[in-house]
Amino acid sequence: MALIKAANDPGIVQLGAAVPDPDYLPTQAVARAVARVARLQRTRAAGYMMPPGAPELRRQIARRMSETGGGISAEDIVITTGCQEALSLALRAVTQPGDVVAVESPAFYGLLHVLESLGLEALEIPAHPHEGMALDALAFAFERWPVKACVVVPNFSNPLGFCMPDTHKRALIGLLAKHGVPLIEDDVYGDLGFDHRRPSTCMGLAPDADIIHCSSFSKTLAPGLRIGWVAAGRHRERIEYLKYVSSIASPTVPQLAVAELLESGRYERYLREVRGKYASAVSRMGDAVMKYFPEGTRVSQPQGGFVLWVELPGTIDSFELARHALKQGVSIAPGPLFSASGKFRNFIRLSCARVWDERLERALTTLAGLVR
């Protein structure tokens, strides 16, 4: 919670939370769309938008998803309050408290918090830095544990940044089908590939498999809109009901505004601009870490998204480093947050979605000094 709260403090250089600086977001276009829908659809905007959510937004999401295969329709989509709620609803739809859920190791810490709060057991399966979840380890886990669901971030994972090759995605889907285990895919970074290619989704590759697809516009349009979605496959009715139970509905104005940004083509234009910016920001931050940090430091080579996973010399305790760094006005995400069992003690995650300036460079040299 200290890390989460630090994200609200403008006096701190934010390298911890994976939240883009507003300079990377299309804030003007978002503000205009919000103002326009609030004015032109005043009465509709004031009411509940009951699950599954605004039809025009679901149509636009389904259209974009269909471009990566699968023939998704608006009826398949349930609008949620961000990807975090999407993950929570997906897990609640297919598990009971006490169940075992296979996750990547390292995994996005928000997912681990959701698992913990639902009384689920996270079973960590090692993730390869280029290919994602190790399938031999997953197959081995199936022999020993009654795994009830598997959650992966196949495209530009957080924190490793890999993009699972299609052959690997297909093999994962096949392995899960063999054991009757549903796959929850989190595609929140899928639109942010550095080579401008939109990678496939597991749902697109295998429309008939038991897959629940979760995503949001938090990494692209604005996290504060809190608009995400679930393409729920065979679990749609249950997820619609769970969405209603947890928050009745997601706010109406942001749903209508996002629908407009998608329909007008503004979203695609923004993506074309920002992917290159993230590629440069990640590469620049990686170079700076290698320049300032001591020997023995290694950095990931993400293929998309905007976070770097940094391995520090083995003697470093990243929790202690994070505490000292926060006192000096810099927030970082310590490695053990990304594990359910305290792994990655000498790792940190850095968010690179910051405008490069003196303050940022100073923050990195401060961190490097603390590591030394």
Ligand X SMILES: Cc1ncc(COP(=O)(O)O)c(C=O)c1O
Judged by CB under 6 A, the stretch of 76-84, 129-137, 259-267, 326-334 that binds ligand X is 76-84
Q: Does 83 bind ligand X (CB under 6 A)?
A: yes
The sign one gets for the Cα dihedral 97, 51, 253, 156 is positive
**Separation of alpha carbons 315 and 24, rounded Å:** 35
Number of helical H runs and strand E runs in the chain? 14, 14
Residue closer to ligand X (CB basis): 76 or 186:
186
Choosing from 155, 216, 252, 351, the residue that interacts with ligand X (CB under 6 A) is 216
Residues 6+ apart with CB under 8 A from 306: 18, 20, 24, 192, 219, 278, 281, 282, 351, 352, 353
127 forms part of the interface with ligand X (CB under 6 A): no
Is there binding between residue 352 and ligand X (CB under 6 A)? Answer: no
**325 binds ligand X per the rule CB under 6 A:** no
Does 331 bind ligand X (CB under 6 A)? Our answer is no
**In the set 24, 108, 267, 270, which binds ligand X (CB under 6 A)?**
108
Asked whether position 82 contacts ligand X by CB under 6 A, the answer is: yes
Q: Which stretch binds ligand X (CB under 6 A): 78-86, 311-319, 331-339, 360-368?
A: 78-86
Three-state SS at 342: coil
Of the pair 161, 316, the CB lying nearest ligand X is at: 161
Q: Which is nearer to ligand X, 130 or 324 (CB)?
A: 130
Bridge partners of residue 193, in order along the sequence: 304
Binding-site residue total for ligand X (CB under 6 A)?
14
Show the tokens assigned to 200. 């496939």
Counting contacts by CB under 6 A, is residue 193 touching ligand X? no
Among residues 33, 35, 40, the alpha carbon closest in space to that of 57 is found at 33
Binders in 154-173 for ligand X, by CB under 6 A: 158
* Residue (161 or 204) nearer to ligand X, CB: 161
Half-sphere exposure for 115 (CA within 13 Å, toward CB): 26
Of 118, 122, 121, residue with least CA distance to 246: 118
Three-class SS state of 213: strand
Give least dist CB 87 to ligand X, A: 6
CB of 311 to ligand X, least distance (A): 20
351 binds ligand X (CB under 6 A): no
Rounded Cα gap, residues 117 and 211, in angstroms? 22
Q: Where do contacts with ligand X occur on this chain (CB under 6 A)?
A: 18, 82-84, 108, 110, 153, 158, 186, 188, 216, 218, 223, 228
